[in-house]
Structure 1
Amino acid sequence: MAGYFAIFLVMFTLASGLIWLLDARLFAPKRRQQVEDAVAAAGGKLPEETIEQLTKEPWLAETARSIFPILAIITVLRSFLFEPFQIPSGSMMPTLLVGDFILVQKFAYDVKDPVFRKTLYRNNTPQHGDIAVFKYPEQPTLDYIKRIIGLPGDRIIYRDKQFFIEKACPAEQQGNCPGLEQVRYSFTSDGEFTQQGLPQRRYTEQFGDKQYDILITPQVPEQKQSYYRQATTAIDEWIVPEGHYFAVGDNRDNSRDSRFWGFVEEDLMVGKAVFIWMSFEFSDNPDRVLPRWIPVGVRFNRLGRLH
């Protein structure tokens, strides 16, 4: 099932369209007939004010006629093409910051209906390194955004704050498959970001043909005791089931992701994050007068395509 806003938008669009249609087919002809009867009763002449009064649309019908085309366009765009999202947390830092507004390409993966989320058209599937939006498996009314690390059939190990991946190997390639490979990263900077007062290190990670930055907090230990346990594998190892994906935040020590709650079903995928179209800066100063939800600036340098 889709989120509440998506359901509300679709229902509101259908309601306004139905009201407009009923008025156009049932009540508008009756209003026109009333005018004709009134003209005939008046001997063929009727003041313009009286005609306008008799033909005037009810407020509800006039409003529905005005807003239905706009709502229909928004519903189609949001459901099948692009949907805007706001980043509410720091789990994808430094790639995405709190206050970033992104566009998610809905048709990048399977196209689904906006209410029941049944697949209407089979398109592409998520790839390694994609930034994907999906319905949170533990509460499907919430949208989550993470980076896809594992595809169906991949074997994944997260050890000493590094990922090792053995990619799924098709049957026809058996005997010539790559083994376990480290997802390598290189040091970029130190101290630019903090996690609860602890300095974080910024690294550039290379995953296939994708390159992006991640954050690691050296003083925060791995939370292995909280990891999702999969039968027949080690505590820090997972094998992605068919039809599922393994999704992780770029802020590795400050992200609740597949390491903790498991895999993302294919049907829960919403789309691929492709563009930052606005980025607001907020102040953490406790002495500020304005509420914290009011931005103090715009980060124009962050606008652009996502990688």
Structure 2
Amino acid sequence: MNFALILFVLVVLTGFAWIADKLVFLPQRRQAAEAAVVEFDRQQARVGERFADENAPVTRARLRDEKLRQPWWLEYTASFFPVILIVFLVRSFVVEPFKIPSGSMVPTLLVGDFILVNKFEYGLRLPITNTKVTQGEPLKRGDVVVFRYPKDESVDYIKRVIGLPGDVVAYEDKKLTINGKPVPETPLPDYFDEERVGYAKQFDEDLGDRKNAILNNPAVPPFIIGAEDYPYRDNCSYNNRGVVCKVPPGNYFMMGDNRDNSADSRYWGFVPDANIVGRAFFIWMNFSNLKRIGSFE
């Protein structure tokens, strides 16, 4: 379901109702209210002070309010337009919330984490079409990025940027090399993976600008099983040790931090720049563990 499209349709519908109310229906209601008040005052003057309603001011105000009140169909359209518009603009151009559905980014992000994604850092993009209208900052290695899955653009994925355009990325024997330089790893205490109910080897990976934790399961073989066909597949060479890829222009090589439990660029290919949604930067809620709230690398 394309929530951005649904939100856009709601903005258009409620916006039309809001404009129609301001230009047509509200003036009509004001005219009817003034006419009703004039008629009420005329009736009060006709009966005279002796028989006049003691609560005439209250009745007069209530009568005017009733005539000015929006009908139910405007109350449920035009009245919601400002709120829906603000939500649409914030979600499209400032931040967008997402929920982590899988364990591919463990230990950085856990299932059930609710995260915020920066929508302007890499350049503003039009909602629905995702067309970039401002340049913004370039993606950096190590950024955690939400993007539209190249195989099904109605689905959002989250992974870490490993390879930039022109990079040669090798992941062989579970060791990462970028442009011929091994990426430094520092061993950390073993991590208990609750999803797989077992321990995995944990390392601190240094991609230059930032460090992040990754997991490796020694029981899983290094070679890639089930790699699909995808654009620029000729840029990749698969062997019994893993895979080596040269990232084509305008694309990125993405990997999950849970290296043996992540369907990523090793399996379905590169992510075009046009598919980038934004950079994930903050966990705003995890109902199972409130200590998870905060920023992450």
TM-score bin (small chain) = 0.7 to 0.9
Aligned mates of 2:28, 2:195 — CA distance in 1? 68
Which of 254, 273, 295 pairs up with 1:266?
A: 273
Alignment of 1:276 onto 2:289: no
The C-alpha deviation readout for 1:208-241, integer Å capped at 9, x for no partner, is 1211100001001124242357326521111111
1:152 aligned partner, one-letter code? P
The residue number in structure 2 matching 1:231 is 234
Name the count of aligned residue pairs. Answer: 275
The residue number in structure 2 matching 1:299 is 290
The residue number in structure 2 matching 1:29 is 27
Aligned mates of 2:34, 2:199 — CA distance in 1? 80
Aligned mates of 2:135, 2:187 — CA distance in 1? 40
Aligned mates of 2:237, 2:66 — CA distance in 1? 78
Instruction: Give the conservation status (yes or no) of the 8 Å contact 2:235–2:248.
Output: no
The share of aligned pairs that are identical, in percent, is 39
Aligned mates of 1:10, 1:44 — CA distance in 2? 48
Aligned mates of 2:117, 2:235 — CA distance in 1? 36
Q: Which structure 1 residue ranges, 5 or more long, are not aligned?
A: 167-179, 282-297
Instruction: Give the conservation status (yes or no) of the 8 Å contact 1:94–1:250.
Output: yes
The C-alpha deviation readout for 1:240-262, integer Å capped at 9, x for no partner, is 11000000000000000000000
The residue number in structure 1 matching 2:137 is 124
1:152 CA displacement = 0.3
Instruction: Give the conservation status (yes or no) of the 8 Å contact 2:252–2:272.
Output: yes
The residue number in structure 1 matching 2:107 is 94
Q: Which structure 2 residue ranges, 5 or more long, are not aligned?
A: 45-58
Which of 83, 86, 92 pairs up with 2:96?
A: 83
The residue number in structure 2 matching 1:285 is none
1:26 CA displacement = 1.0
Aligned mates of 2:169, 2:141 — CA distance in 1? 12
1:188 aligned partner, one-letter code? L
What pairs with 1:36-55 in structure 2 (closer than 5 Å)? Answer: 36-38=34-36, 44=42, 48=60, 49-55=62-68
Alignment of 1:16 onto 2:19: no
Q: TM-score, normalised by structure 2?
A: 0.86
Secondary structure of 2:263's counterpart equals coil
Based on CA coordinates, which of the two structures has the bigger radius of gyration? 2
The C-alpha deviation readout for 1:118-153, integer Å capped at 9, x for no partner, is 122121121111000000110101110000000000
Aligned mates of 2:16, 2:69 — CA distance in 1? 19
Alpha-carbon distance change, 88 to 243 in structure 1, aligned in 2, over 3 angstroms: same
Aligned mates of 2:166, 2:2 — CA distance in 1? 33
The residue number in structure 2 matching 1:252 is 259
Instruction: Give the conservation status (yes or no) of the 8 Å contact 1:162–1:182.
Output: yes
Secondary structure of 2:249's counterpart equals coil
The residue number in structure 2 matching 1:196 is 196
What pairs with 1:195-214 in structure 2 (closer than 5 Å)? Answer: 196-214=196-214
Instruction: Give the conservation status (yes or no) of the 8 Å contact 1:128–1:151.
Output: yes
Instruction: Give the conservation status (yes or no) of the 8 Å contact 2:215–2:259.
Output: yes
The residue number in structure 1 matching 2:51 is none
1:4 CA displacement = 1.1
Aligned mates of 2:223, 2:73 — CA distance in 1? 57
Alpha-carbon distance change, 117 to 299 in structure 1, aligned in 2, over 3 angstroms: same
The residue number in structure 1 matching 2:56 is none
Alignment of 1:157 onto 2:170: yes
1:16 aligned partner, one-letter code? T
Secondary structure of 1:226's counterpart equals coil
The C-alpha deviation readout for 1:21-65, integer Å capped at 9, x for no partner, is 101211222223334445566674576244333332111223334
Aligned mates of 1:153, 1:216 — CA distance in 2? 26
* Greater alpha carbon shift after TM alignment, 204-213 vs 25-34: 25-34
| RMSD value, Cα | 2.1
